[in-house]
Structures are given as structure tokens and as C-alpha cells.
Amino acid sequence: MTGASFNKGGGQRAPFGTNEYLRSTDPKPVKESYTFSAASLPEETIDGVAQKMLLPGTALASIISGPEAGKVGVYSTDTVGVTDGRSAAENIVGINDTWLPWQLMEHDSNVAATTDAKCVQSWCFEYNAAGDRVVLSNTTADAMRGTKSLDIKFS
């Protein structure tokens, strides 16, 4: 009889899983429901496969023009290439709280956007002009503090 053994295989893989962005859940974060436009999320390559993955902690903005108008999408700092309203700070609706690891490859989905909470800025995201997920900038964080519909505090 042989003892138990373990053979590690498969090589290095990209990290995969949800993202925690809240500093505290006391008081309970306030959320609003929206329809997320799958077309607004750029594909990324994960372990050699093109994929769409929406992480919690991603800034969301209203789409105000074009075929996806009335939905929300990822907030982008690209004021030249993104012309549907998602690059205007006044259109930010909150921070995504829904993890969608593959569903947006096939269809739009409902998401919850956090509108009032204590968050860790370095754990939150926006998209740059190249379509890459980057850490939330100070400018974007400032746009989410103490507005009529948002009160997100960052640490």
C-alpha cells in the first residue's frame, strides 16, 4: 500500500475570483439596480482565452446615447473614443457590486451599483483609453463623493 501523494500540474494560471472593494459593511451599503450593457465591457485575455469579466468595485456610468442608451456600462476616462456618455463624471451611477465572470460574453445582465458606502479606492477600478482596467483615479473618486445621488467615502 502506498501513501497519499500530490502531483501539482497545470502550470501558472491567472488569478480568478471576485473582488472585495468595501472597507466596511456598517452601516449597510446602499445599492441601486441597473441593466448592464455587455457591449460596453472590453474583452480581456485570461489564460489565452478572450473573455469579458465584470468585477465588483468597477465604476459604472449611464449610457445616454446610441443603441445601448438607458443601460449602464463601465466608466471610462477615454473622452475621445467613448462617446455614449460613459466618460462623463456626471454620469457615474455607482460602483458595481455584481461579479459576472463570463455572462457578458452572451447577453446583458442586471447589476447592483453601490451608491452609499465606505470603500477602498485602491480596490476599485475604471477603464482607461486603451480599454484596460486600472485603479480608480483620485479624480473619479472625487466625482463620487457627496453628490445628489452618490455618497461614496474612500480610504
Please state the three-class secondary structure of the chain as a single string. Answer: CCCCCCCCCCCCCCCCCCCCCEEECCCCCEEEEEEECHHHCCCEEECCEEECCECCCEEEEECCCCCCCCCEEECECCCCCCCCCCCCHHHEEEEECCCECCHHHCCCEEEEEEEEEEECHHHCEEECCCCCEEECCHHHHHHCCCCCCCEEEEC
Distance CA 112, CA 20 (A): 14
Q: Is the pLDDT of residue 1 over 60?
A: no
| pLDDT tens for each residue of 11-58 | 677 777 889 999 988 889 999 999 999 999 999 988 889 999 999 999
pLDDT at residue 8, as a whole number: 61
Reported as a pLDDT band with limits 50, 70 and 90, residue 127 is very high
| pLDDT tens for each residue of 132-153 | 999 999 999 999 998 999 999 9
pLDDT at residue 25, as a whole number: 81
pTM for this prediction: 0.89
| pLDDT tens for each residue of 81-92 | 999 999 999 999
Reported as a pLDDT band with limits 50, 70 and 90, residue 10 is low
User: What does the pLDDT average to over 64-81?
Assistant: 96
Q: Which domains are present in the chain?
A: 22-154 (2.40.300.10)
Distance CA 41, CA 72 (A): 10
| pLDDT tens for each residue of 50-64 | 999 999 999 999 999
